[in-house]
Chain A
Amino acid sequence: MDLNEFAEEIGSSGPVTIAGLATRGGPVEGVRTVIAPVGIEWVQPAEMTVCCGAGTPVEDVDAALAVHGQSVAIPPSGTIGGALAVGHSGLRRLGYGPMRDSLLQTHYVNAGGEIVKAGGPTVKNVSGFDLCRLLIGSHGTLGFLGDVILRTRPRAQHEQWFVTTDDPESVVAQLYRPTSVLWDGTSTWVLMEGNRNDVESQAGNAKLRRSDPPGELPNGGRWSVPPSELSNLVGTGRFVAEIGVGIVHHEHPQPPRPIDPTIADLHRRVKSEFDPEGRLNPGVDVLSTE
């Protein structure tokens, strides 16, 4: 399916929702459902970019990039479009940066059924307002992603998880750019990437032991808290926190976060500009979606 057919299916009237592989929640129930184009258009290793349909599985993109020693900072499972629409970064955000930095350009379909281009094909681009960032994490409420150009990154030559019972603050202070630091209140796990000798010598200096990554993460809730408040988590239940980032994989849902009424009002105004009839993913309230 090409973009034009995708836009025609979405049309310009009536409620419509979009489905990926339902690994992050799935489409709105009881509403006409469309799916985004699937397939990799091209990989340009020397540009460090890849172009694919938003319905392409993340693992297909990973496999295509692995051939060139590259990857994208999009967490595994589901589709590229689903991952971007939900906007959750992966466990390596500390080292790779947030997922939102990966989307360079997209053609999305707006509430009027038109194909809109946002962003541009190059890694560096400040031409116009950054609608790509608006779409990431918008849960399909402002437009449905059709195709995307993503920034890739080189795969590290070597990676290794380590563990220690030292407190995470002192561990982080001793390391240069770890890829991930996780803490469950007792143990601190560290993922480091790069040259093998550098990884080993950093681990040695910080007295880290080689280990497996932490097992299955608690999945009762995904909390987002200021990283300086992570130490307050002790006693709230079982959790694994991303140190230096502030994401907490918790056994319980996050307590409600207060929303500034001005922010809520801005959200209403953005939604009503982009989707005045509220036809895209009706009923989804991005402010109350975890």
Chain B
Amino acid sequence: MSSLIDDLSGALGSDRVRSGPNELSLYRKDASNMEGSTSVVCLPETTAEVQACVRICNRHGVPFVPRGSGTGLSGGAVPLDGAVVIATTRMDQILRVDQVNRLAWVQPGLLNLDLSNRLNHLDLHFAPDPSSQQTCSIGGNVANNAGGPHCLAEGVTASHILAAQVVLPDGTVTTLAGEEPEPAGYDLRGVFVGSEGMLGVATEVCVRLTQNPPGVKTMLIDFASVEDGAETVSGIIAAGIVPAAVEMMDGMCLQAVEAYIHADLPVDSAAALLIEVVGLPHGLEADLDKIVAIAHEHNVKTVRVAQDEQERALLWKGRKSAFGAIARIKPNYYLHDTVVPRTKLPEVLAKIYEIADRYELQVLNVFHAGDGNLHPLLVYDAREPGITERVHLAGGEIVRVSVEAGGVLSGEHGIGLEKRDYMPLMFSEIDLAAQRSLRCAFDPEGLANPGKVLPSPASCGDIESVPEGVWI
């Protein structure tokens, strides 16, 4: 039999099949702290080429990992044991836009923000807005069921994907669902979204587009205690207001960001909420007034409503550059993504501070408070002996207290490799067997991104990949 690389080169041309040491080194990781190994990287440009890659992998019995921009934070795109990487970065076109019915067919490598920017003249956008939206791809959003600040009101990616053309793990091409609202049969589109590349490779995606709001109000309000901030969030939701976004930054984070972008942030406060409401003028004003009143009931210190687009952009820049800002404190960070019931935010945040103290670590919190989606950032310097272990132990405890508080492992980053072994905290062996059944129905040979999400081998032949050669 001819070699794997020869076959792939025959299908794609040798310039788009890479196996040099630099590329293999680049593609063995994503934006998580994990590394695996790949034997070859493919850069297909069409559905037929993706199909050819998958078929060749099948012929050689070699697993493959679909990859978008590699911005995932849970190791979902980290190839294990030399798996073939199929990167969709070159498939970045908008294929068709239906302005009237507000949908578009796009290729998976298209960047999230590029899609919205290119639709702006039609007054439409793609609602999921992960903080990585300048660099993350639509295919990656589909794989991870990505979120973002504006998913509070609009829902995460699953609510915005109408259909996907996919190459199944055996190399067959089909389309899951379609533009019609209730396709016959099971919601295979629904299970494909968030399946982290384990059910196939999306090659065309039909996205739902959202009208740009006629009005926007953005405000920053701050509090002397995290509890007051968190109770304000619950109060807003209980009052029947679902703002477009409700983000929280704690004191440490405010200080780090202020030092970085100089936005006149309330650095002496324990917590600040960035709240955005959108819509028609009367409703907008009414919501704004109610939110301010609720904030006053919870001892708000200052209320700063952005006076123009420039100030609004600055406030958002503060939120979205938090990850850059922390690099000024320590060179490394470890980010968790648990979700807890909104009403448990004060209690769980107090525990997170306590855990960080106990492990002598610095923690910053910047997160989607409106949906209880925590993003504790443990900042550290990996060169310090023993600290990486402490970061992992502390992270494990944070995940545990979140689940014990009635929460979940991940709100928007996915399970991937990183949180795979935490799955039994949330799911029994019976629950996990059901998830494996779905995987087996799509991929009986276990070739699509094996070793992710599910903690133990599937009976249909998934080989447990003890992530050997994986460095956390």
Residue positions of A touching B, CB distance < 8 A: 44-48, 68-70, 87-89, 93, 97-98, 100-101, 110, 114-118, 120-131, 133-134, 136-138, 142-143, 153-155, 169, 172-173, 176-177, 194-198, 201-202, 222, 224-228, 242, 244-247, 257, 259-260, 262-263, 266-267, 269-270, 272-274, 286-289
Check if B191 is an interface residue, CB within 8 A of chain A. Answer: yes
Q: Is the CB of B242 within 8 A of A128?
A: no
Chain B window 397-433, contacts with chain A (Cβ cutoff 8 Å), 1 for yes, 0 for no: 0000000001111111111000100010011101110
| Given A134-B190, A169-B100, A198-B281, residue A273 in contact with residue B441 (CB < 8 A) | yes
A222 to B180, CA, bound (A): 12
Residues facing A in B168-225 (CB within 8 A) are 168, 172-176, 178-188, 190-191, 193-195, 198, 211, 213-214
The 4 closest A-B pairs by CB, nearest first: A133-B190, A195-B283, A226-B179, A198-B280
Q: Which chain B positions have C-beta within 8 A of A177? A: 211, 279
CB distance from A225 to the nearest CB of B (A): 5
| Given A195-B283, A198-B282, A228-B98, residue A274 in contact with residue B237 (CB < 8 A) | no
Q: Is the CB of A122 within 8 A of B341?
A: yes
CB distance from B297 to the nearest CB of A (A): 14
| Given A124-B411, A129-B453, A287-B184, residue A244 in contact with residue B102 (CB < 8 A) | yes
Check if B82 is an interface residue, CB within 8 A of chain A. Answer: no
Q: Which chain A positions have C-beta within 8 A of B282? A: 195-198, 201
Q: Which chain B positions have C-beta within 8 A of A242? A: 181
Sample of 14 further A-B pairs with CB below 8 A, known A128-B454, A130-B195, A246-B179: A46-B342, A101-B159, A122-B339, A122-B411, A124-B147, A126-B410, A137-B185, A198-B281, A198-B283, A242-B181, A262-B174, A267-B185, A273-B438, A273-B440
Residue pairs across A and B with Cβ atoms less than 8 A apart, 23 shown, are A68-B238, A100-B187, A117-B427, A121-B341, A122-B371, A122-B407, A126-B414, A126-B415, A130-B191, A130-B194, A136-B187, A137-B185, A194-B283, A201-B282, A222-B182, A226-B179, A227-B181, A228-B179, A244-B101, A263-B185, A263-B188, A270-B437, A270-B441
CB distance from B406 to the nearest CB of A (A): 6
- Closest residue of B by beta carbon distance from A286: B185
| Given A89-B181, A89-B182, residue A128 in contact with residue B415 (CB < 8 A) | yes
A228 to B102, CA, bound (A): 10
Q: Is the CB of B431 within 8 A of A173?
A: no
Q: Is the CB of B281 within 8 A of A173?
A: no
Q: Which chain B positions have C-beta within 8 A of A123? A: 339, 371-372
Q: Is the CB of B437 within 8 A of A273?
A: yes
Partner of B156, one of A89, A124, A131, A257: A124
A263 to B189, CA, bound (A): 11
Q: Is the CB of A227 within 8 A of B237?
A: no
A122 to B374, CA, bound (A): 12
| Given A121-B408, A227-B179, residue A194 in contact with residue B190 (CB < 8 A) | no
Tell me the number of A-to-B contacts counted with CB atoms below 8 Å: 246
A46 to B235, CA, bound (A): 7
| Given A131-B435, A155-B240, residue A225 in contact with residue B180 (CB < 8 A) | yes
Q: Is the CB of B184 within 8 A of A288?
A: yes
CB distance from B414 to the nearest CB of A (A): 5
Q: Is the CB of B188 within 8 A of A266?
A: yes
Residues facing A in B426-467 (CB within 8 A) are 426-428, 430-432, 434-435, 437-442, 444, 453-454
Check if B373 is an interface residue, CB within 8 A of chain A. Answer: yes
- Closest residue of A by beta carbon distance from B285: A195
A138 to B182, CA, bound (A): 12
A45 to B428, CA, bound (A): 28
Of B151, B178, B413, the most chain A CB neighbours within 10 A belong to B178
Check if B145 is an interface residue, CB within 8 A of chain A. Answer: yes
Chain B window 262-286, contacts with chain A (Cβ cutoff 8 Å), 1 for yes, 0 for no: 0000000000000000011111001
CB distance from B193 to the nearest CB of A (A): 7
- Closest residue of A by beta carbon distance from B193: A130
Q: Is the CB of B145 within 8 A of A126?
A: yes
- Closest residue of A by beta carbon distance from B409: A127
CB distance from A105 to the nearest CB of B (A): 9
- Closest residue of A by beta carbon distance from B406: A121
Partner of A246, one of B181, B187, B342: B181
Q: Which chain A positions have C-beta within 8 A of B279? A: 176-177, 194, 198
| Given A130-B191, A133-B187, A227-B179, residue A124 in contact with residue B372 (CB < 8 A) | yes
Q: Is the CB of B158 within 8 A of A130?
A: yes
Partner of B280, one of A129, A195, A288: A195
Q: Which chain B positions have C-beta within 8 A of A48? A: 237, 242
Q: Which chain A positions have C-beta within 8 A of B342? A: 46-47
A196 to B453, CA, bound (A): 47
Q: Which chain A positions have C-beta within 8 A of B235? A: 46
Check if B256 is an interface residue, CB within 8 A of chain A. Answer: no
CB distance from B429 to the nearest CB of A (A): 10
